[in-house]
Amino acid sequence: MDASKKRIHPRFVSGKYQNIRLVSMYVILVMFLVLPWIKWGGHQAILFNVTEPKFYVFGATFMPQDFYFFAFVFMIAAFMLFMVTVYAGRVFCGYACPQTIYVHLYQHVEKWVLGERNKRIKFDKEPASISKISKLVLIHAIWGVMSMITAVTFMSLVVGTDYLFFNGNPIFFMEWSKLTWVFFILITFVTQTNAGYMREHMCVHFCPYGRFQSVMFDKDTLIVSYDYDRGEPRGARKKGAHPESYGDCVDCTMCVQVCPTGIDIRDGLQVECIQCAACIDACNEIMDKVGYPRGLIRYTTERQLVHKEQTKIISFRIFAYIFILSVLIVVAAMIAAGRDPLELEIRQNRQKVSSVGRDGLVENSYVLKIVNKTDERQVYKVKLEPVDGLTLKSRFKELPLKANEPYDLPVSIFGDPAKVSGTIPVTITVYTEDGKYSTSRQDVFVYKP
């Protein structure tokens, strides 16, 4: 990281693409802030409870043994991002990335307090004074409130709003544990530092997405580009004048002033470009003022801009991504639809596999891990599918379990040594009292005289 690089204060510009960005960014931000407060089926609609651990996702409950499902979800998200990048470049960075959203929001706070770009640059150069310190304190105070709201919202998705806000104490934060406070302070600090100071350095130096974009781009990828042939040689001129020795670029540097990462798009595609299109709106505004056609900087493709050919929208790579995404989505949907509301796992007691009691019966001990994966209380019973000479005994005749509650139930199978010998397959069935749900698993009964 170049520590000597000056702090970037972008000029805020309006236009078609910036309006789209504002809508997309703040819709995502509002969704993030509102999501923890939405209830679904008696729980938060989205709650990644890592303490139990249980994940609630719009009525569906996922437990540790279901986490492989999320592997498919992450793969779907990754391939979808790759497909969008192949077709439309880094639009995610410019329009939906949380880093972009928060940096934009925090920079707007500076604008509200200090003024437009020139005033903010001048403010940085001012010597320390009571006025400057008071404005810095105000900026940091507003940032701090925003950072704390972000931290609480993020934590609400992990530990729940009930724990954070509705814990029985009017001063709700007094009931927080030490670990909760540690994470609250940590997330607040990270948010404040990241959005207030790191800003474009995260995009340029830390985010890997910009580094591997060159591998994903091709001649038909839509990117923000400067029309070099039309714009060069650049130079200032009077309004309405168009000297034959100049191109359309009036060298106003507005495209540089509005760039949140401080690059000059006229130097070509760069890893720092997050494709926010601020330079497009700024350049179009200047073109309107000087009376030139819009589009000197625009969304286009290498094939169209350099090779003067029609962009190929349909390509093998797009079809490949669509095929892979379709397979992943189908598999994830099948897994989600096929989730068993009752889970049973049989484990033999390793310390006491087989023993002979005083009554002469052979005993094999097992532990049944029963998980009620429904959102309702269920009463379960256990039975052994008929095998001549074998009987099952359980500690409980009935096992009531709350919604999404797991339980390890010790059971024993007793065998008549006159009727059983060797390794005998057995099937244990767990079923609900009302007969609505049931599941069976196989294991073995071992007796070696």
Token readout for 72 is: 């498919």
The reported pTM is 0.77
Burial of 447 (0-12, 13-18, 19+ CB in 10 A): buried
CA distances 178 to 159, 174, 438, Å, are 14, 10, 42
pLDDT band of 240, cuts 50, 70, 90 = low
Token readout for 216 is: 């994903």
pLDDT band of 105, cuts 50, 70, 90 = very high
Alpha helices for 160-203 (secondary structure H):
161-165, 178-193, 200-201
A 10 A CB-CB count for 11 gives: 16
Which domains does the chain show, CATH number per domain? 1-339 (no CATH), 342-447 (2.60.40.10)
- The pLDDT score that the predictor gives to residue 3 is 44
Per residue in 341-361, pLDDT tens?
Answer: 888 889 877 666 678 877 889
Over range 172-189, report the average pLDDT: 91
Over range 111-121, report the average pLDDT: 93
- The pLDDT score that the predictor gives to residue 320 is 86
**Contact indicator for 391, 361 with CB cutoff of 8 Å:** no
- The pLDDT score that the predictor gives to residue 351 is 64
DSSP class of 428: E
Per residue in 408-449, pLDDT tens?
Answer: 999 999 998 888 888 899 999 999 988 888 899 999 998 887
Percent of the chain scored above 70 by pLDDT? Answer: 95
Is it the case that residue 265 has pLDDT exceeding 70?
yes
Is it the case that residue 4 has pLDDT exceeding 50?
no
Over range 93-101, report the average pLDDT: 92
**Cα(first)–Cα(last) distance of the chain, in Å?**
74
Is it the case that residue 5 has pLDDT exceeding 70?
no
pLDDT band of 2, cuts 50, 70, 90 = very low
CA distances 11 to 26, 115, 123, 317, Å, are 19, 10, 15, 37
- The pLDDT score that the predictor gives to residue 171 is 80
